[in-house]
Amino acid sequence: MTDLVKIGDLAKRTGLSIRTLHYYDQIGLLSPSHRNSAGHRFYDSQDIIQLQQILSLRQLGFSLDEIRDCLQSPEFSLPQVIELHRARVREQIALSRTLLKRLNAIAQELETTHAVAVENLIEAMETISMSGQYFTTEQQAVLETRFSEHETEWQALLSQIRTEMDKGTDFNSPDVRILARRWLAGMKSFIQGDHSIYASLTRMVQQEEPTAVSWGRMDAATFEYMLKAVSMLTLGETTESLIPRDKIFSPATQHVLQLGEDAMLQIYFDFIGTEAILLGLLADDTNLATQVLNTAGITFTAVQPLVTKWLGVRPQPPAGWHPSPLPFTGRTKRVIELALDEAKGIGHHTHIEPEHLLLGILDEHKESGGLATYILQEELSLDLSQLEQQLRATMSQ
């Protein structure tokens, strides 16, 4: 195996991560031709040629699925890939020369007049926007790995978004709101708190033409659509206009929420989280959800000190402080959306009943989970799946 390249060496020489090469192998895009008895991967010259094609096509904006189709096509060859890549590089060189020419003109103008025409600055900035390298080598390696790990689900999400775009679905519809939340979660997983990657991604999508945007195959129109959807989602949640309490909650549920609010005010908290809903349910022993919880050994007396344990007690506010009604947290708003879906799906209710609220809490736990489900599962050792089964069975009686 003297002419073969180890996976670690190939990763170092190409700037890719071993994890990315493993992923290419996993999806059948680039499988090493050789393995030793210990299962270690080794790449031969043909493998490296194929990797060159993959990297070139990736830089040109092809998705992994599109690259696989290209590689499997007998009409597609390495010379074609190289020529496409050369054309892109020539464009970049031409832009760089134009930029250098304009910057030289600005420098000369500053030397002679100590001032510069605004139009010249604008032209230079336009060229910078066109020729800038949006992502550094390090950022490209990071994004390559993250995108490879989630490409299938990301492409599925983008497809669903474009479907709603084509249908002209209202931004306030539940379907678009859910897509907006999923898109935000996907972007968060890619960016992971790195402001520089966020800034580079935003600049790329804003400055390129829709057909030229390549990262994640997210064109400018889709990006703009989701920005509007997220803006409307945020505005609706901020003003709570998405949750007309008197229209979507039954009287029994409004009573439960008031009891939950009272429990929060006792420890001087000014919001309603999932733990407040749980306390509200348990404080009212007339609803179906509480009866199922009590049967499982869950009571207000058991839960209330645990909520205080995790939230603490805020200092007593000034006299007259009573911000009612308390606003819902973002997680609680999601619980309410899921509860409304449950209400409509079970008996076609038009109002959310207390049992729907508990189902919403259990459904939201499958997405992330809040303090209510943490207390039930971790502190009180309750099997949430069994609780859901019991609640649904009781509701069907």
Write the DSSP string, 284-302: -TTSHHHHHHHHTT--HHH
User: Could you tell me if 168 and 204 lie in one domain?
Assistant: yes
> Which one-letter amino acid corresponds to residue 392?
R
Number of domains in the chain: 4
In a domain, residue 363? The reply is yes
Domain of residue 381, residue span:
245-396
Instruction: Choose among 197, 184, 206: nearest CA to 130.
Output: 206
In a domain, residue 81? The reply is no
User: Could you tell me if 255 and 338 lie in one domain?
Assistant: yes
pLDDT of residue 356: 92
User: Could you tell me if 54 and 178 lie in one domain?
Assistant: no
CB–CB of 106/124 below 8 Å? Answer: yes
The CATH number of whichever domain residue 18 belongs to comes to 1.10.1660.10
pLDDT of residue 131: 39
Rounded Cα–Cα distance for residues 287 and 252 (Å): 8
User: Could you tell me if 26 and 148 lie in one domain?
Assistant: no
- In DSSP terms, 6 is beta-bridged to 42
pLDDT of residue 299: 92
Residues in the chain: 397
Last residue of a domain, one of 238, 253, 285: 238
User: Could you tell me if 362 and 269 lie in one domain?
Assistant: yes
Give the distance from CA 228 to its chain's centroid.
16
**Segments in the chain below pLDDT 70:** 1-2, 59-63, 74-78, 80-81, 84-85, 87-89, 91-96, 98-100, 102-107, 109-111, 113-144, 148, 174, 192-196, 199-220, 234-246, 317-324, 347-349
pLDDT of residue 211: 38
pLDDT of residue 98: 65
User: Could you tell me if 144 and 126 lie in one domain?
Assistant: no
| pTM, entire model | 0.44
Rounded Cα–Cα distance for residues 173 and 169 (Å): 7
User: Could you tell me if 99 and 183 lie in one domain?
Assistant: no
pLDDT of residue 278: 94
User: Could you tell me if 340 and 251 lie in one domain?
Assistant: yes
Beta strands per DSSP E along 2-153: 5-6, 34-35, 41-43
User: Could you tell me if 174 and 296 lie in one domain?
Assistant: no
User: Could you tell me if 228 and 274 lie in one domain?
Assistant: no
Q: What is the pLDDT of residues 345-375, one digit of tens each?
A: 776 667 889 999 999 999 888 877 788 989 9
The CATH number of whichever domain residue 356 belongs to comes to 1.10.1780.10
CB–CB of 272/355 below 8 Å? Answer: no
